Chain A
């Protein structure tokens, strides 16, 4: 079956620190991979995506590379800001159900000044 395993949170970092949030997946076939972010009081927003192996998704300084050999899609940012404080969700789409996304449990990030 399809599943996503995310690094347990919460994660607390100082401003300008390096961020890594680990995400691994189990899927049949060739899934597409996504990172969504949920800011306080708001709905989820797509942060970045990758649709095939070795693709790198990037947005707002965040990056994640689709690694088929390790079934991973880790989220990274070189220098976090207070405004990056949010809950981050890794997700996959299994190519059969277009808008049926399988989400990880989410990782809460708090960035302190």
Chain B
């Protein structure tokens, strides 16, 4: 069974641009969550999607948005990029959206904002 796939693996953008990251969950998984990982703040929850609906949202500005498609694939978008958005963005999937469920993480997209 293929794991969680995130594309692209690396991205370099400049301030003010926007970026879209993609995540393909494990087949059969309907929940996709996004996390931002930085050396200073560690791992922080961005949002979770289940059956194309946003279920939970972390404490990030509105420049961060996402969506989920009917095949459970998810995208996250960051508009008007800032230097502080440089981070590793991790996607995680799980079969449902149950408490205590095991999350399966992708290898991440490393975003550098210059």
Contact = CB atoms under 8 A, between A and B. Distances in A.
B43 A89 contact: yes
Interface in A87-113: 89, 91, 93, 95, 97-106
Nearest to A101: B45
A103 B89 CA distance: 14
Interface stretch (A13-21, A40-48, A64-72): A40-48
Interface residues of B, number: 28
Interface in A37-66: 41-46, 49, 51
Contacts of A99: 31, 33, 48, 55-56, 92, 94, 97, 101, 103
B2 interface: no
A5 B17 CA distance: 35
Contacts, number: 70
Interface residues on A, range: 20 to 34
Contacts of A36: 105
Of B42, B94, B97, B102, which is in contact with the most chain A CB atoms at under 10 Å from its CB? B42
Contacts of B107: 41-43
Contact of A44 (B56, B90, B101): B90
B103 A103 contact: no
Contact of A97 (B3, B48, B103): B48
Contacts of A100: 33, 45, 48, 56, 58
Contacts of A44: 90, 92, 103, 105
Interface of A: 32, 36, 41-46, 49, 51, 89, 91, 93, 95, 97-106
11 contacts: A42-B107, A43-B104, A49-B100, A89-B42, A93-B100, A97-B45, A97-B48, A97-B56, A98-B56, A100-B33, A100-B45
